[in-house]
Amino acid sequence: MQMQSYVAGEWQDNGKVIGQAHCALDGSVMAELIGHDLNGGEILDYARNHGGPALRALTYLQRADLLKQIAAVLSENKERYAELSAKNNGATAMDTFLDVEGGIGTMKYYASLGKRLGERRWMTEGELEQLTKDENFRAVHVLTPIRGVAVHINAFNFPAWGMLGKLSVSLLSGVPTVVKPAAATLPVAWAMAQDIVAAGILPKGAFSFLAGGGRDLTNYLTSEDALAFTGSADTAGMLAAHPRIISQSVRFNAEADSINSSVMGPDLSPESDGFKSFIHEVSKEMTIKSGQKCTAVRRIFVPAAHLEAAQAALIAKLSKNVLGNPADEGVTYGPLVSASQKQAAVDGVAALSSETEVVFEGAMGGDADGFYFTQKLLLCREPLKAKTVHETEVFGPVATLMPYESEEQLFELVRRGGGSLVSSVFTNDDSFMVEALQQLGSTHGRLLFVDDSISRGHSGHGNVMPMCIHGGPGRAGGGQELGGLRGLNFYHARTAVQTNLTRATALQQG
């Protein structure tokens, strides 16, 4: 299989192989990335000059309809994506569902939001404000689409959801988009791009797709462009400090490392229903997508008095998991996506070894040439003295169990993550929940508080729901995406429009 870039309105092919994607199950090469001869400026200019005017001429309702059509096309081809995902990502059926159906579902959600925005080309925010004694003079805050390009640099772990979630928001906003997926997991994204282009739904220039390359895009960004990045903190930092990003005040959103946590509340005992929910959720989060979720639980906090019980319960649960080729019966989790990711996981566990001990390790499985890595439960007995465990994201089926002695100590420990995407707190104590929100809100993009009444009905520690913002402060990159219409703000400029009452009212009505 050869995978090309779709840029400047054409599938490009200069005949040069610039990279490979592998089968995670056996390490074999499953596809080649093919180069092209355009530079970043040419790619952006085409999108800016063709895609921009065409998308801005449409209303939100019309753009929502484009999303709906794309989602329909992708739904028809789900099986092909699942096949690619099973090989390239070593995914289970559930892993693929989260990625592919999760992505299509997010696109459908934004299609429905766009439909509600209706036949308009701008949004307004808040009420009309009176600024002077003249009641006829008013201000209204108006959001208009930026006139540049959205550049999306996506992570390897969600080739479908990562692309479709970001793309839904930028296209609905009316901003042409250049997608650069991760090379290691390009196949699913590439197959989707092929189907999107072949369907001929989008105006020329609205959608561009890079199969590798594109490192020079940043050099050509302007103040009207927006760069959304998901990946490592190192790359995020390099992009944020790029002279072009700085000099042009380019909009930049980053989602980077996150040492998420799950907390067994001080009110729970090992006999409580809440404890069972907690153990169930944590063990599930450790192996879904083999732990390759930016939202996965990395740190597990339990009251010191219940450390042994929690450890035993977790080990009992994890022992039921089986590593191997998800196509084989009885297998519950698959390999990591690449040799380098496997090595990074090995290195990560080694880095934690000075502060933790391995209290459980799953059995090996799968082809020796695949990128298999067994689940590991680590224990850190003195988390207050630890540093690495709060700062190291092992991107695999690995988490560290830690005891806390008091609420104050718990909050301090959780905050040592330095800013995270999510923490889930299991508690039936309403006042503890309010205290935890006030103590942990500023370091978390999302807090899931599970009590017994929603233990079966909640959406999960790791699932990103498009109605809620996704992103986290500090180490997690400082960005925010999705969150319903909030997500569109990144691709819109907010302008205070000061004018007469009639005009202001008309603007608000669209």
User: Rule CB under 8 A: which of 142-171 touch a copy of itself?
Assistant: 142, 144-147
Beta bridge partners of 179: 152, 209
Tell me which residue has tokens 């990279």: 19
Mention every residue, 6+ apart, whose C-beta is less than 8 A from residue 268.
Answer: 274, 275, 278, 303, 306, 426, 427, 428
Task: List binders of a copy of itself among 216-255 (CB under 8 A).
Answer: 222-224, 237, 240-241, 243, 246-249, 251, 254
446 binds a copy of itself (CB under 8 A): yes
C-beta of 199 vs 433, nearer to a copy of itself: 433
Mention every residue, 6+ apart, whose C-beta is less than 8 A from residue 337.
Answer: 24, 88, 89, 90, 156, 157, 184, 185, 292, 371
C-beta of 145 vs 370, nearer to a copy of itself: 145
Task: List binders of a copy of itself among 402-441 (CB under 8 A).
Answer: 418-419, 430, 433-434, 437-438, 441
- Which of 362, 327, 29 is closest to 187 using CA atoms? 29
Note if 380 is an active site residue: no
Contact pattern for a copy of itself over residues 40 through 69, marking x by CB under 8 A: ----------------x-------------
- Residue 258 is given by DSSP the state -
C-beta of 72 vs 465, nearer to a copy of itself: 465
Interface with a copy of itself: number of residues (CB under 8 A): 81
| Catalytic residue chosen out of the listed positions 281, 294, 355, 481 | 294
Euclidean distance between CA atoms 92 and 221, whole angstroms: 38
Going through 213-345 in order, the beta strands assigned E by DSSP cover 226-230, 251-255, 261-264, 299-303
Answer for which of 15, 330, 453, 509 binds a copy of itself (CB under 8 A) is 453
| Catalytic residue chosen out of the listed positions 255, 281, 285, 481 | 255
Q: Of the listed pieces 62-70, 85-93, 183-191, 450-458, which binds a copy of itself according to CB under 8 A?
A: 450-458
Q: Which residues of 297-332 are buried (b: 16+ CB within 10 A; e: fewer)?
A: bbbbbbbeebbebbbebbeebbeebbbbbbeeeebb
Taking the complex as a whole, how short is the minimal distance between the CB of residue 155 and a copy of itself, in angstroms? Answer: 17
Task: List binders of a copy of itself among 291-320 (CB under 8 A).
Answer: none
Helix (H, G, I), strand (E, B) or coil at 217: helix
Taking the complex as a whole, how short is the minimal distance between the CB of residue 416 and a copy of itself, in angstroms? Answer: 12
Note if 255 is an active site residue: yes
C-beta of 93 vs 496, nearer to a copy of itself: 496
Answer for which of 312, 331, 358, 468 binds a copy of itself (CB under 8 A) is 468
Euclidean distance between CA atoms 152 and 468, whole angstroms: 20
C-beta of 158 vs 432, nearer to a copy of itself: 432
C-beta of 129 vs 347, nearer to a copy of itself: 129
Tell me which residue has tokens 């309403």: 430
Answer for which of 99, 393, 451, 481 binds a copy of itself (CB under 8 A) is 451
Q: Which bin fits 213, alpha (ψ -120 to 50), beta or left (φ > 0)?
A: left
C-beta of 32 vs 225, nearer to a copy of itself: 225
Q: Which residues of 263-284 are buried (b: 16+ CB within 10 A; e: fewer)?
A: bbbbbbebebebbbbbbebbbb
Task: List binders of a copy of itself among 484-503 (CB under 8 A).
Answer: 484, 486, 492-500, 503
Taking the complex as a whole, how short is the minimal distance between the CB of residue 200 and a copy of itself, in angstroms? Answer: 27
Give the neighbor-by-neighbor strand order of the sheet with 29-34. 2-3, 29-34, 17-22
Euclidean distance between CA atoms 314 and 320, whole angstroms: 10
- Tell me which residues are annotated as active site: 255, 294
